[in-house]
Amino acid sequence: MKFNGFSITDGGETKPGIYENFTLSVKITPYTYESCDSGILDCLREDTAEGIRITVGKGGHVKVWIGIHQDVVYLESLRAHLDYQKENLVTIGFWGEAGWVDLMINGCHSMRKQFARHGKCYLPEGRYSIGRMKEQGKDPRKGFFHGELEEWRFEEIYHSVDETLAEQQQMLRSSKETDLYEGIPVKQDRYHTVYHLCPPAKWMNEPHAAFYKDGYYHIFYQANPHGPIWDNICWGHLVSSDMVNWTYEGIALNPDSEPDNEIDPDGCWSGSTCINEEGVPVIFYTAGNNQYLPNQSVATAVPADPTDPKCRIWKKQGVLQRQPLDIGFTGEFRDPYVFRRGGKYYMLVGTGDRCNGGGNALVYKGDTIDTLALQGMLMDYQYELCPEAGHVWELPVLLPLYDQRGVHQADIFLLCSCQVENGRVETYYFLGHFNEETCKFQAQSATPGLIDLGRSIFTGPSGIVTKDKRSILFTIAQGGRNPVDEFQSGWAHNGGMPVELSMEEGALRVRPIREIESYFTETVYEGTDPEEAADILLLEHKAELTATGRGLTLELQAGNDSVILSYSKDSGIFRSFRKSDPGQCSIDRGAIDHVQIPEEESIQLEILVDHSLVEIYLNRRKSISLRNYEYEDGYRLKAGPEVSFKIRRYHGPQE
């Protein structure tokens, strides 16, 4: 039996009985672990001390509960545990006459627990569960097994330890090919995106650590291959030749891949990649280890085979930096961002600032990766002027901004707000200049800006500079979906469209990466008739609108509801809201979020529609990202007169 880590499976009806002796054996192949216990077999009733429960936890720890009238006996694997992604033989020997229960794993007597002689196991009548906990506790999305359970055997006799171990040692054990996403039909979900960066299934967050090497762009993301929920974070790996069409290349970093993991047993969290002086990509990531305080450090990894253009397998190098205790907020030390300038290495690490109570980034500098040394905080600023940026800054990113001639005009520092008083997470930016000598960022404004005015969809920044001097920003497009629907659909979140950041006329410009243009090859409408344009059902399209007046209002009609988009040159306000709930508008903090378009420039909107994700760009100055799970077949685009339309349909890469 195979279990995907989140789908509900029932075993059937328990056959009631009273057993003084029995032997229960099963072959177990764990694909991934949860941070909690995953159910193997569960028919335990703790209130009456009846039944059996078997679970597996991180590190392959097997736990067993057996109801013995008026008492529950508990034992946990001690001398041997399950081997990760291998076939494991587990046997429970219950000898009530002698008063003990044995746990044997892979030919090793792992644990014995004693109880009063002539104890009997009571199996209750009722439903039992295989592959999940019968009672999931506080979070019903946890407690599911991911892997294979085979060769169940229940005998009403007790086999001795020597007999069982001899049998286990004779059986061949081997690693198994594991498809972590087998049989999960996420593409059948009408809300799943088609042309945006996305893993095969389950959990995704924060695309990060992009780099380019040997003809391929690489990007990683926070992955939980166990289920569509944040837990036990790994690094998933995607590769592309154009930053649009991505292929999955497996799990690059995994806290459970080493049996005695002392680097990151509690998670491999976000980070970055930098190409070193030898041309080898080096991953810098947040290593979670709850055995330490602080529990976060910066660790590194390199390709196991540097000649592999797809860098499929990565080898951890160990901890590079631990959090200093005299600077930053203790326990807030994550998301290292490493870059090279002027022959030097620089590393930013997100944290909090004790001096002003707000977020900040620590700066490290060195001639080599191994000589990176702390220089201090990146910015001096007043938290009271930008409390929306939070008490902690995550995912700090520093990118150069070039003009159309490829001349470096300024720098942009991006961050993801964390521990925000209003609870809203956004990606903010400061324009300014990074001083390579002092390691300080001098911002042009005391208040950070927003690239995207949608509410908490456009988050998790990361970046890369291409060979043709384009600064590319990657983000996560937060799902914003009902957690139950999200869990049942088998997937959560996808990447936003990568965008190009540049400077024109002293101001920031943003546009979808130009590579996406080659995928919209079929024009389905071009003209000025709003009724004809509204006949097009948008689902996997790009719509370009040009208005010659002083404002533009349009409606994206989806089923019984609509999203209203509007812009006015007079007010500079660019906003969106649902027709059913006008109070839930996009962000407007006043003039700082308004868009000023010159009189001689027409109003231009680029709208990317990809099922549940809609991204709107206004004159390459601001964007609004939206999520919608209310439509049936797609969206109708309605706009007034004095508007021209060009609508193109997406076509995937040619096979």
Token duo for residue 104: 């044997």
Helix (H) or strand (E) holding 543: strand 540-547
**Contacts of 79 by beta carbon, 8 Å cutoff, 6+ apart:** 108, 109, 110, 111
Q: Tally helices (H) and strands (E) across the chain.
A: 3, 49
The tens digit of pLDDT for each residue in 205-235 reads: 999 999 999 999 999 999 999 999 999 999 9
d(CA 420, CA 252): 31
CB 219 within 8 A of CB 241: no
d(CA 197, CA 189): 16
Report, as an integer, the average pLDDT of 170-182.
80
Question: Which residues pair with residue 129 across a beta bridge?
Answer: 10, 42
The tens digit of pLDDT for each residue in 478-512 reads: 999 999 999 999 999 999 999 999 999 999 999 99
Token duo for residue 273: 């990649």
pLDDT of amino acid 382: 94
Among 12-21, 34-43, 613-622, the minimum mean pLDDT is found in 12-21
| Phi, psi angles (nearest 5°) of residue 152 | -65, 140
pLDDT of amino acid 37: 95
pLDDT of amino acid 172: 67
The tens digit of pLDDT for each residue in 595-643 reads: 999 999 999 999 999 999 999 999 999 999 999 998 989 999 999 888 9
DSSP code string of 479-520: ----HHHHHHHTEE-EEPPPEEEEEETTEEEEEE-GGGGGG-
| Phi, psi angles (nearest 5°) of residue 590 | 105, -155
DSSP code string of 622-643: EEEEEE----SS-EEEEE-SSE
**Distances, alpha carbon 436 to alpha carbons 275, 277, 320, 381, 433, in Å:** 19, 19, 22, 19, 9
- Checking if the pLDDT of 425 tops 90, the result is yes
Report, as an integer, the average pLDDT of 576-587.
90
pLDDT of amino acid 203: 96
* CA-closest candidate to residue 411, choices 274, 508, 512: 508
**Contacts of 9 by beta carbon, 8 Å cutoff, 6+ apart:** 1, 3, 129, 130, 131, 132
Confidence of residue 14 (pLDDT cuts 50, 70, 90): confident
- Checking if the pLDDT of 176 tops 80, the result is no
Confidence of residue 16 (pLDDT cuts 50, 70, 90): confident
Burial class (CB in 10 A: 0-12, 13-18, 19+), 361: buried
Residue 449 C-beta-side C-alpha neighbours within 13 Å: 22
DSSP 292: S
The tens digit of pLDDT for each residue in 112-131 reads: 999 999 999 998 888 889 99
Among 9-13, 151-155, 376-380, 388-392, the minimum mean pLDDT is found in 9-13
**Contacts of 195 by beta carbon, 8 Å cutoff, 6+ apart:** 244, 516, 519, 540, 610, 650, 652
CB 546 within 8 A of CB 642: no
The tens digit of pLDDT for each residue in 63-106 reads: 999 999 789 999 999 999 999 999 999 999 999 999 999 999 99
Confidence of residue 110 (pLDDT cuts 50, 70, 90): very high
Left if phi > 0, otherwise alpha if psi is -120 to 50, otherwise beta: which for 128?
Answer: beta
pLDDT of amino acid 655: 41
Domains along the chain? 2-170 (2.60.120.200), 186-515 (2.115.10.20), 520-649 (2.60.120.560)
